[in-house]
Chain A
Amino acid sequence: KAGVTQTPRYLIKTRGQQVTLSCSPISGHRSVSWYQQTPGQGLQFLFEYFSETQRNKGNFPGRFSGRQFSNSRSEMNVSTLELGDSALYLCASSVGQALTGELFFGEGSRLTVL
Chain B
Amino acid sequence: GENVEQHPSTLSVQEGDSAVIKCTYSDSASNYFPWYKQELGKRPQLIIDIRSNVGEKKDQRIAVTLNKTAKHFSLHITETQPEDSAVYFCAARANYGQNFVFGPGTRLSVLP
Decide if A and B are genuine partners.
no
A residues at B contact (CB < 8 Å)? none
